[in-house]
Amino acid sequence: MLTWNVTYHCKSGKRAAFYQALCELGVRANSLEEDGNLRYDYFFAAEDPDDLLLVESWTSPAHQKAHCETEIFARLQELKAQFCEGVEIDKFSC
C-alpha cells in the first residue's frame, strides 16, 4: 500500500476557493472510482488557514502512477497553479 500526504500551501485567503474548485471538478469522486484507490480525503489545517491536506492511499505505486496520468489530474495541475504557492508531499509505503 502507498499513502501520500499532500499539503497544498494555498495563496493567502484562497484555500476555500481552491477546495470549492476541487469539488466542482470532481477530483475526489473520480479518484475514489479509480482502480486501486483506497482513500482520497481532504482536511483543513487548524494551524494554518491557507493549508489544505490531502491524504490518498493506493493499493500499489502503479495505481497511483496511473492516477497521475488521468485528465482530471492534469486539470488539477491547472488549479494548483491558480490557487497554490507550493505543495509538499510525504510518501509512505506499507
Domain ranges of the chain: 2-93
Grid coordinates belonging to 19: 477546495
If one counts every other C-beta atom within 10 angstroms of the C-beta of residue 54, the result is 21
> The whole model's pTM is what?
0.94
CATH assignment of 2-93? 3.30.70.100
pLDDT of residue 27: 97
Positions in the chain short of pLDDT 50: none
| Alpha-carbon distances, residue 26 vs 12, 33, 42, 76, 87 (angstroms) | 23, 11, 13, 10, 20
pLDDT of residue 94: 79
